[in-house]
Chains A and B, each alone.
Chain A
Amino acid sequence: MNSLLGRRLIFVTGKGGVGKSTVAVALGLLAARRGLRTIVAELSGSDRLQHLFAPPPAGGHPAFAEVELVPGLFTISVDPQNAMEEYLRVKTGPVGQAFGSTRLFQAFAMATPGMRELLSIGKVWELAQFERRSREGEPYDLVIVDAPATGHGVGILRTPRTFAEIARVGPIAHQGGQIARTIADRSFTAVLAVSTPEEMPVNETLALHEALLSDDLDLDAVIVNACYPARFDAGDRKALEQAVATQPDRSVRAALRAALSQQARSAAQSEQQERLADRFGERLLTLPYLFCPEIGPDELELLADHLEGHVT
C-alpha cells in the first residue's frame, strides 16, 4: 500500500454504523505516535470526538475549537456556520464580517445548494495548509476527515469541483477549483473507506469505489472493521452440534449455541471479506471486533496497535 500517513489529508468514509469515527481516531492516534501533529475533523455536525478521552469542561468547548485529545492529536467539529464566519472574517475583513452577519446573507448562503458542503470542506482544506488562515493557527502534519456516510461522502468530495463549474469566475470558483485540485492530488490527499464484513456495507464500499473512479478519484485503502476472530471451524461445528444434542444444562446449551452462531457468522464474514479482497487486494486492512461495552481510549489505542505495522 502507498504511504497513507505521508499525505496531509485523509478522507475516511463509509456506510453509517461501520465505525468510521473509531477508525479515524485510531488512525489519528497512530499518526500522533509517529510524531505527526494530527487533527481529526468531524463533518457530521456532532462533537462526540471531543469527549472521547476526557469529559468536556463545564459549558463545553468553544465552537470551532481545536481540542487536544492526547499529545499531538487534536479534533475539531466543523459546521458550515462557523466555517462561513471564519472565512468572511479572514477573507473580507471587518466589512465582510459585518455584511456576512446580516440575517439575509446567512439565510441566502446557507440555503444555496451545496454551500454548506463547500464551506465545511473549505475549512478542512484550510486545516491542511502549511500557512493557516488565522494568525494563531499552527499547521498540522496530517488532517483526517471523519466524512459523512457514503452517499454524501462522495458528494462532499465532488462539491468543490461542482462549485468551480457553477460559479466559473470569482472567488468561489477560484477556491472551489483550488480545493478540487488538492483533492485530486494523490500525493496530498488519500481517500479511505471503512466497511464491516457484511453484505450491505460491502456493497456500498464497492459502489463508492465505482463512484470515485468515475470522478477520477480512487480508494487508497479499505479498512474492514469488526472482524470476528476465527474461533471455530467446520469440524468444530460438528462437535458443537453433537454436544447440543445431548441436551445439557440450559446455560451450557446457551454457550454452545453462542459458539455455533459465532462459527456461522464468522464464516459469513469471511465470504464478504473475500469480496473486498478480490477488488482491493493489498489495499485491504482488517481490524478485530472488540467485545466490550463501548469503545473508549483503551480500545482506540488497541486498534491503533493493530494498524501499527500495516499503515505507513
Chain B
Amino acid sequence: MDAQSIIAKRVARELREGMLVNLGIGIPTLVANYIPRDMKVFFQSENGLIGTGPIPEEGMAHAMLTDAGGKPVTALPGACTFDSATSFGLIRGGHVDVTVLGALQVDAKGQLANWMIPGKMVPGMGGAMDLVTGAKRVIIAMQHTAKGKPKIVKKCGLPLTSARPIDLLVTELAVIAFPNGQATLMETGPGVTAEQVVSVTEAELVLPAKIPAMQL
C-alpha cells in the first residue's frame, strides 16, 4: 500500500457514525474513500455544503455544485446548502466534530503550520485557521517527511495556523498524539519500528512501553 493510502485508511478509522467532518485538500480528501459503506458521515465543504458526495460521472457535473477547490462534486441524499457565514459558524462554533487537514510542519507540542512559507508560497489561509481554531477535533494527515527532511519538528519555524494544538497526527510511519502537550508515539506504520520513526522525526517523541502497530 502506498503512503497516501496508509494515511487515509488510518484516519478513516477515527470517524464515527453521524459525525460532521471537514476534509482538507490532498491526502485528507482520500479519507472519504475508506469509511465503511454502511456508515453515515456528514462531509462538509466549506463553500456551503453538507452531504458532499463523490466526483460526478462524466456529463453529470453541475456548475453550481462544487467543492472548496471549485471542482464539481455530487450531493448525497439529505444534503443541504448554506451561505459562507453559516458554513463558518458551523466551523468556528464547534459544530464540526472532526477536521482532517494537511500540514507543512507539526511541532513537539502539537502546534501546526500549514498555510504559508514566507517569501515563497503565500496562498492565503482560506478556511484553515477557522477550522483549527473551531473544530472539536483536529487531525493532521501528512507524509512523515518532505524530500527526506523532517516535518515533525522541535518548534514550528513557519507561521502558525492557530495557537490551538492539534489532537492527532497520522503519517505513513506513525500515529502521534499530544497528551500533556508532548508528542507521543501511539502506533507505528506497517513494518515500521519505533526506532525508525524516531530517526526521521526531529521532535522528541515520548515512547510508551507498548506501541502497537497501526491497524488498517
| Chain B associates with chain A | no
Q: Interface on B for A, CB 8 Å cutoff?
A: none
